[in-house]
Amino acid sequence: MTIAFPKPDEAILSRRKEIIEGLGRLVPSEALIVSEDERRAFETDGLTAYRQMPLAVVLPSTTEQVSEIMRFCNEHGVKVVARGAGTSLCGGAIPQEDAIVLGVAKMNQVIDVDFENRTARVQSGITNLGISQAVSYEGFFYAPDPSSQLACTIAGNIAMNSGGAHCLKYGVTTNNLMGVTMVMLDGTVVEIGGDYLDSAGYDLLGLICGSEGQLGIITEAVVRILRAAEGARPALFGFSSVEDAGACVAAIIGAGIIPVALEYMDKPAIQICEAFAHAGYPLDVEAMLICEVEGSDQEIEDMLRRIVAIAEPFKPKTIKVSQSEAESAAIWKGRKSAFGATGRVADYICMDGTIPTGQLPYVLKRIDEIAKSYGLGVANVFHAGDGNLHPLVMFDTNKPGEMEKAEKAGEDILRLCVEVGGCLTGEHGVGIEKRDLMTEQFNPVDLAQQMRVRGVFDPLWLLNPAKVFPLEGRLAA
C-alpha cells in the first residue's frame, strides 16, 4: 500500500460499543450495519486497491435522521464518511477504522418535478439515470451522464462535480445544479439555492459542488432538467495517428462547433472495446473520435457535413456516420463499456487529468512514453472536447511491484497535465488518489486558504478527513 491513511483514534475505537448504541437510538435496526461481514461491503469503493473497515455503517431514510446522526457524531467526535453508491474512482468514499459511513442509498425518491420551470427536486441517493427516467415521459432529461450513471448517485455527482460524455454541450454537475438541502456537522439543516436561476449573496452552491463530502451531507438536490432534442446522431472517425486525432479535436472546437459529445479512443481502447461490444469499430486505425450532434434532421445533416469537412485535412482512414438507431446504440455501447471491457483483460487504474485541448497531440504522445517507461500498457478513452483525459494504465496485480509502477505512471501523467496548464481532476475528484499531488498544482498559501474555508464548515475535521488535502501540513483543528 503506497497511499497512507491517518492512524485511527484509539479513544474512538475503544468506545465503539457506546457509539453503536447511540446510533441505534437514532435509526431503525435495519439501517445500522455493525457486523464485520456486512461492513465489509462498505470497506472500499471504485478504487478497490485500498480498503478500510468502517466503525459502523448508517443508512438513514430522511433528512431528519441525517441531522440527528450528524449532531450525535459532532458531540462525540466521531468521523463521518459520506457515501452514495461507492463508484468513486479516486477513493473518495473509502472509510476509516475510526469513522462511520453515512450512506444515502435509501434516500432515492423524486420529491417534485416542475416541467414549466424545468426543475426537479430529488433525494440525494437517487441514481443519475433515475432522474432522466423519472422525467422522460414528458420528453425531458438530466444532462450530466457519467459512465457509471446506472449506479452512481446524485450525491456522489455533486461531491465530485461529475461530468460525462454529453457534458461538452450541457456542462457538468455544477452547471445543472440549482440548489441543495445540506446537513451541517452540528446537525443544522440549511437550504442553499433553490428552484430559481440565481440566489442572492455568496455562491455557496459553487463551493459545495465538488467539495467531496467535507462541508456537509447533501440530502436533497434541485437540478435543472432539459427538453430532449428532436434527434441525435453520432459519427465515427478513424485516424492513422494519435496526433491527427488530437489535432482534429482542437480544429473542431476551434471552429466554434460544439457537438453534444466528442469522445476519443486510442488503438488499445478500440481493440478492447470492440472485442467486448462488437460495435463495428475500425481496427486498422491508431485513434478514433466519436462525434455526436443533435437537433432537427436538417441541423444534424448540416453540422455533420461541416465536421466531416474539418476532419478531412487530417486524412481520416474511416468516416462512418450512423444511419440508424441501432448503429448509434452500437457506437455508444462500445464507448460506455470501456472501463468494464478493460477490466476483462487487465487490472488498471483510471487517471482523470484535464488539459487545454490544444495540448492534446503532445500530451497523448507523452502519456504513451510515460507508460512505456514503466513497462506498462495504457488505453486512452476520454472526453476530448473539454480535454478531460481518462488514460487507463494497465498492470497485473499478481506481479509484485506492478501496481506501484502503475500508480507512479499515473502520478507522472497527472503532473504532465498540470505542466501543460491543466489540472489534476476533471470529474473523479481528488479523494486519496490525488491527495498527495495537490502540492503539484497548489502552493502552500493556496492550500492553506482552501483548508481555512473547509474549517469554517468542519472545524474538527470530522467529515471525510483523510481525503483531498495532504496529511502533512494540515492546519490544526
> What is the torsion angle, in degrees rounded to the nearest 10, for the CA atoms of residue 137, residue 234, residue 144 and residue 268?
140
Closest listed residue to residue 44, CA positions, set 80, 96, 79, 2: 96
Percent of the chain with pLDDT over 90: 86
Mean pLDDT of 299-306: 94
Question: Phi/psi of residue 413, each to 5°?
Answer: -65, -40
C-alpha cell at 283: 481496427
CA distances from 277 to 213, 239, 318, 326, 417 (A): 35, 20, 19, 13, 30
pLDDT of residue 196: 81
Q: Identify the weakest region by mean pLDDT among 108-112, 114-118, 363-367.
A: 363-367
Contacts with 200 (C-beta within 8 Å, 6 or more apart), sequence order: none
Those residues whose C-beta lies under 8 Å from the C-beta of residue 146, and which sit 6 or more positions away, are: 128, 152, 157, 162, 163, 164, 427
In contact, 164 and 259? CB cutoff 8 Å: no
C-alpha–C-alpha distance, residues 71 and 350, integer Å? 36
Dihedral over alpha carbons 294, 230, 135, 129 (to 10 degrees):
-30
Write down the pLDDT at residue 310.
Answer: 96
Tell me if 142 sits within 8 A of 134, measured CB to CB: no
Asked whether the predicted pLDDT for residue 477 surpasses 60, the reply is no
pLDDT digits (tens, 9 = 90+) for 389-445: 999 999 999 999 999 999 999 999 999 999 999 999 999 999 999 999 999 999 999
Among 119-123, 200-204, 465-469, the minimum mean pLDDT is found in: 200-204
In terms of Cα–Cα distance, which of 11, 455, 34 is closest to 475? 455
Residue with cell 490525488: 434
pLDDT tens track for 121-169: 999 999 999 999 999 999 999 999 998 899 999 999 999 999 988 888 9
Distance CA 234, CA 152 (A): 25
Q: What is the pLDDT of residues 201-236, one digit of tens each?
A: 889 999 999 999 999 999 999 999 999 999 999 999
Average pLDDT of the chain to the nearest whole number? 94
The pLDDT of residue 476 is 61
pLDDT in tens, 18-72: 999 999 999 999 999 999 999 999 999 999 989 999 999 999 999 999 999 999 9
3-state secondary structure of 261: strand
Cβ atoms 285, 267 nearer than 8 A: yes
Q: State CA 458 to chain mean position distance.
A: 23
| Bridge partners of residue 395, in order along the sequence | 347
Mean pLDDT check: name the lowest of 243-247, 293-297, 351-355.
243-247
Closest among 113, 56, 104, 87 to 216, alpha carbons compared? 104
- Of residues 4 and 57, the one with the higher pLDDT is 57
Q: How many whole angstroms separate alpha carbon 158 and alpha carbon 126? A: 12
Q: pLDDT tens across 246-272, in order?
A: 889 989 988 988 899 999 999 999 999
